[in-house]
Amino acid sequence: MRYFPLFHDLRNASCLVVGGTAAAARKVRLLQRTEARIHVVAPELGEELAEMAGTGNVQWHARRFRAKDLDGVSLVIAASGDDRVDGRVSRLARARRLPVNLVDRPAQSSFIVPGMVDRDPVTIAIASGGSAPVLVRQLRERIETLLPARLGDLARFADRFRPAVKAMIPGEDGRRRFWTRFFRGSVAEAVLQGNDRSAAEGMLTLVNSAPESWGNPQGSVALVGSGPGDPDLLTFRAMRLMQEADVVIHDRLVSDGILDCVRRDAERIPVGKAKGAHSMSQEEINRLLVQQARAGKQVVRLKGGDPFIFGRGGEEQAYLQAHGIMVQVVPGITAATGCAAAAGIPLTHRDIASAVTFATGYSADGLPDLDWQALAAARQTLVIYMGLSNGEEIARRLMDKGLSAKTPIAVVEKGSLPDQRVLGSHLADLGDLLQRESVQGPAVLMIGSVTASARKLAPAEATLALAV
């Protein structure tokens, strides 16, 4: 290992940046996150550095570099863009054994500036020794998606309670077990959600609990929406919870690509439902969630789309709360918006549709009892979930209430996935379209003038079949 990673305390230290270039501005921007006193030496400044100069901890010296600029300096960065100037800065700094960095020239630098993920006071640094900066950037971007935005708040919260934990819990082993439980438990999750009051109350209970109770912690449940199926559409929080879960209880409509994002050693329990084939009843699922949480597990209840839009998330949340289980809800991109975007269909449009309505096309007794008169209203988009088996009847009822038989429709099958299909037609043809194209779920029915946009805006990878 050529480079030894370390973190430099720059409180009240003088840092010298030579140059007024855009590269110099990037380094100054990084240094501004610290408590250092930053001196910029350059005859002229670029636009970004000019805005920084004279504000906060940045002072500009409008002249060329001089050897005495190194007096009293703790760290040096050369980014003038002139090889001769930067080389001279490097030689003089090395002679004084000062850490020096020449931007994009690791061979002339005594240290390199890593890619950083900043969750102050938690900082993650990534470096490749200057050999693959693009790879470093990609790694940083990936780590950013996995770390919660309030991770720094969690570290500060834990630091606040360190004296109390040390006083109440004897021995390093005991304290290590305590902190292990804390960072994986519901108190830490409350901090990450910004619920400081609940977290503080829970922490006091945790600190004052008997050590023997730490071995059987209370778990929690997260109702997580996985979106329409494309893993790239997962939220940061969904991805983090899936990586931290002990148990993932998932629906049939959750795609294989989404499940690939789950922590590899997590237990996976499928509880999928399909028409006429329920592997587990809703009551059984509710009991399973409580059972797993009471066993101390961090449980993710993974649902297609959004948990609160035809996902029975409200029923599960109420059941868990009634049984004293901590529960959080992580919204997902619902099928309507995800499939519409993938097919290039704007659900609302200033000139065409001023409202959008989501409805279900299936119930245990057949077609649900909906307000068909309201659903047939003009200047709106109607999105029907679970409507494949009742497509012909849905079209008939809408036409009976006055919606034109020529109203454009679109059926989006497996929206956002590689084998997505977008089928366009008109309302009177809906039932026949579903039958002759052998449409399989998951699919949504979209009814309204905006669906005509699919014909010209659908992505190239989607199959657009116009059955007009």
Active site residues: 251, 273
Q: What are phi and psi of 76, to 5 degrees?
A: -130, 135
Structure token digits, residue 407: 């109203």
Distance CA 232, CA 235 (A): 8
DSSP-derived letter for residue 227 is B
The vertex-75 CA angle with 71 and 80, nearest 5°, equals: 90
Give the CA dihedral 315, 318, 322, 327, nearest 10 degrees.
110
Contacts of 375 (CB under 8 A, 6+ apart): 357, 359, 382, 398, 401
Distance CA 278, CA 177 (A): 41
Which amino acid makes up residue 231? P
CA distances from 142 to 133, 245, 375 (A): 14, 19, 43
Distance CA 131, CA 453 (A): 47
With beta carbons less than 8 A apart as the criterion, state whether 397 and 361 touch.
Answer: no
